[in-house]
Amino acid sequence: MTTTTIESNLQEQRLFKPSTKFSQASYIKSRSEYNKLCDRAQENPERFWAELADSELQWFKTWDTVLDWQPPHAKWFVGGKLNITHNCLDRHLTASSKNMPALVWQGEPGDARTYSYFELHQEVCQMANVLKQLGVTKGDRVGIYLPMIPEAAIAMLACARIGAVHSVIFAGFSAEAIKGRLLDAEAKVVITADGGWRKNKVVPLKTQVDKALASGEVPSVESVIVVIRTGQRIHMQPDRDYWWQDLQNGTSCDCPAEPMDSEDPLFILYTSGTTGKPKGVVHTVGGYSLYTHLTTKWAFDLKDTDVFWCTADVGWITGHSYTVYGPLSNGATTVMYEGAPHAGNPGCLWDVVEKYGVTVFYTAPTAIRLLMTFGEELPQSRNLSSIRLLGTVGEPINPTVWMWYHRVIGAGRCPIVDTWWQTETGGVMLTPLPGAIPTKPGSATLPFPGIVADVVDLSGNPVPVNEGGYLVIKQPWPGMIRTVYNNPDRYLSTYWTKIAPKDGQYFYFTGDGARQDEDGYFWIVGRVDDVINIAGHRLGTMEVESALVSHSAVAEAAVVGRASEIKGEELVAFITLKPEYVATEELTQTLKQHVVHEIGAIARPAEIQFAKALPKTRSGKIMRRFLRAIASGEEVTGDVSTLEDRTALDKLRS
Ligand code: WT7
């Protein structure tokens, strides 16, 4: 973690108030209502969350203890029993709701499907029975490596139905990355597809799984379920691989939801950190159910009549919380889309909005920046009048981009919720409540009610107004990470020891730098650790470095981020080669491909620079600050006294 000053030069004063009409129709209608909720939470946090857990969710058995907080370990609604699929499906099977669309899906080649709540429930129960027949029981882990097709949501819900722990692996990850995750999670079953569609090409998913499982390298995996999506020929290993569609045939659709302990794990999702290996973030049933339900309801003002489109892939937490669990728990219609933002035609996203009458649209700034390059005419030629609320997530949004989103997509009338959160937080943490909080372009505004956020120094003292510091969360919340799977020490050291208040309190360290302005609004500056944000996705520099040094030509590697117009950041790798190798264009390509092989296409370096030596401090630490400057063509300034070999820097510069 760097201790350099955290600076933000964003000085944005414009204020956008929701219309009276929007406010009056929303759940939280005014700043004073928001304040009241926050006060109530502050007075008695346990009562606050307990009342909501009671009113917003259905429980099979009520909890005995609201919160058991033994820092840094939290247990929520201890003794309570519930099942998230009951809240997402069964409770919407009333006569008036069961035929409402739960999930509408648009495939890239133009095919489409709609599932009513009744139909989705049937599918989920059936797959849950299939999993049982394959020997999956409560607590077993199931890997899911699927494209954005309804089966991805069905597979997740089927696991949750019987208490199996899903671990979704983004379909852009490589065989090596799959293997690492399946090994760590000791998955018993993997659910994948013959392929997925991406920009008119087939992504060979099953082939990647075969490579990951080759020669029994992941001994825990007993079965592989394969969805037919693209129809191309693939290898099916006897007694291991089964077609999803075959398994479904003749299987009963009757599968009662398993009563889960509130603190039973719901899923593991791997995310990048500051060390080489991604960490398995564990979320549990009770707290996550409440937190995703409530944040979806209040931050997106979601009613059961809404058509919510969160464009994130289910391979990321945003897809978990806001494509699958949150909207379904609220009885709304969730939209799933298989294609890239510019698959087929650059207006394809707006076609989906128009076709399904999307009312709430949630995406990442990187996608908006890309859409901006296609011009205003495209969205203006579509009917986007169904949209009433817009959202962004994943990275700071530049005010210019915010204004474009507001004016061109929102026709100047839709509030924008800039939601700050993380894989670890389960749901949104900083966000305007759209009917209550006036927005400023570029600010995630204020904490969600019940969340105690602050900007502090390394000793946990609040920093003055408008000064940069570390964003922390000072009290436990229901959606918080419970542990790092298989690695409790890492849970402690990553999140709970970096900020050390003198009085022994535990503050959750987010890894982000931020400042708070005179109105208390939060402005996120970006990561203060070695995590890079590429197109709204997190990557650890160490992870990419480990991938590079695993190539026989590489002696040493250092990876830094550089600003990129569309992606936000891109990777630049500095490499020293082993003596017997020479730097060539061919080797550059080989090394880029090697990273894709080890991690996946999102980690492909934009540039590789070969160096005789990397600049290091006398204690041997790579001076990334210099590398960052060099990567972005900036003047190398600052203290070079700790540099071990000054000539290394000069050579790099030239
Ligand atoms: C990191 C978390 C869960 C959201 C998707 C990414 C950055 C997220 C914002 C925002 C500025 C943001 C932070 C955070 N981030 N939202 N609204 N404004 N930065 O989840 O992969 O766990 O990444 O994304 O740096 O720490 P993730």
**Residue-wise pLDDT tens digits, 313-343:** 999 999 999 999 999 999 999 999 998 877 7
- Measured from the Cβ of residue 381, the count of other Cβ atoms closer than 10 Å reads 10
Cα–Cα dist 64/15, whole Å? 44
Q: What is the pLDDT of residue 2?
A: 42
Distance from residue 644's CA to the centre of ligand 1 (Å):
35
Residue nearest to atom 23 of ligand 1 (CA): 422
What is the number of the ligand 1 atom nearest to the C-alpha of 272?
A: 21
Q: Atom 12 (ligand 1): residue with closest C-alpha?
A: 395
What separation in angstroms does the CA of 501 have from each of 71, 291, 429? Answer: 13, 27, 22
Measuring from each residue's beta carbon to the nearest atom of ligand 1, which residues come in under 6 Å? 271, 317-318, 393-396, 418-423, 444, 510-512, 524, 527, 533, 537-538
pTM: 0.94
Q: How far is the CA of 413 from the centre of ligand 1 (A)?
A: 26
b/e for 389-425, b at 16 or more Cβ within 10 A?
A: bbbbbbbbbbbebbbbbbebbbeeebbbbbbbbbbbb
Quote the ligand 1 centre to 348 CA distance (angstroms): 26
pLDDT at 7: 60
The pairing of strands 112-116 and 101-106 is antiparallel
CA distance 471 to 458: 10
CA distances from 190 to 165, 223, 317, 461 (A): 12, 7, 19, 46
**pLDDT at site 200:** 87
As given in the structure block, the two tokens for residue 343 are: 């698959």
Predicted local distance difference test score (pLDDT) of residue 536: 86
> Within its chain, how far is the Cα of 276 from the centroid?
19
Q: Check residue 617 and give its pLDDT.
A: 80
Atom 20 of ligand 1, nearest CA residue: 422
Mutate to test the pocket of ligand 1, among 368, 422, 439, 471 (most ligand atoms within 8 A of CB): 422
The residue ranges of the chain whose pLDDT is under 50 are 1-4
End-to-end CA distance of the chain: 29
Q: Ligand 1 pocket check: which of 288, 366, 480, 512 to mutate, most ligand atoms within 8 Å of Cβ?
A: 512
Q: What does the DSSP assignment read for 268-280? A: EEEE--SSSS-EE
Q: Give nearest CA residue, ligand 1 atom 10.
A: 420
